[in-house]
Chain A
């Protein structure tokens, strides 16, 4: 069965410090991978999505970047955190359209609560 791991669960970082959130998927190959941010009382906002290694699309210009060094690994980074980067970050995966059933399955990680102080 497929599983998704996201860590850390919580993080408190000072303004100006770097950030690295990691997400890995097991039990599947060539997944689509996503990073979302969720603000209180708001819907999830798509930050980045990736359909393959080194194929990453950014949805919102911001202080963050994403990388996919391996097929099932997705990393969210920042060189210098801002206060506005605080939030709840979710990684997710889905089967790729190339596997014939489109964006049907969509599974989220457990989330990272980031507080920038």
Chain B
């Protein structure tokens, strides 16, 4: 069964600090992995997309890594801002199906 596990479930950080979110998956065969940011009550917005051959991708202060061998990904937030408070969702797409596998998300709270 294709699964995506995210950790931690939630975290609180001070403004200006860095944090790293983890995503482990069992989806196979693998096509791509995406990180989304979801503000409360809104739809998820894509931050990064990585295919099998990519092991790092940045979008401003967000940097995602992918280790396709160990089936692990991380999302690093640098110099956090209050606006980074949101849920971050890891989504993995198989290469043989339309259906995506979603993690439950990590809720990040940035405090001043």
Which A residues are within 8 Å of any B CB, using their own CB? 6, 32, 41-44, 46, 49, 51, 59, 88, 90, 92, 94, 97, 102-104, 106-111, 113
Contacts and interface: CB of A to CB of B under 8 A. Distances in A.
A53 B83 CA distance: 39
A103 B91 CA distance: 12
Nearest to B93: A103
Interface in B29-53: 31-32, 34, 36, 41-46, 49
A111 B36 CA distance: 15
A51 B99 contact: no
Contacts of A32: 98
A106 B34 contact: yes
When A and B form their complex, which 3 residue pairs have the shortest distance between CB atoms, in order from nearest? A108-B43, A43-B102, A44-B102
A117 B45 CA distance: 30
Given A43-B89, A106-B91, A110-B43, 7 more contacts: A43-B104, A59-B99, A90-B44, A107-B46, A108-B44, A111-B42, A111-B43
B23 to A, nearest CB: 12
Interface of B: 4, 9, 31-32, 34, 36, 41-46, 49, 89, 91, 93, 95, 98-100, 102-105
B90 to A, nearest CB: 9
Contacts, number: 52
A43 B38 CA distance: 12
A113 to B, nearest CB: 7
Contacts of A107: 46
B98 A43 contact: no
Contacts of B46: 106-107
27 contacts: A41-B104, A42-B104, A43-B4, A43-B89, A43-B102, A43-B103, A46-B99, A49-B98, A49-B99, A59-B99, A88-B41, A90-B43, A94-B98, A97-B98, A102-B93, A102-B95, A103-B32, A103-B93, A103-B100, A106-B46, A106-B91, A106-B93, A106-B100, A109-B43, A111-B41, A111-B43, A113-B41
Nearest to B51: A104
Contacts of A51: 98
Contact of B98 (A42, A90, A103, A109): A103
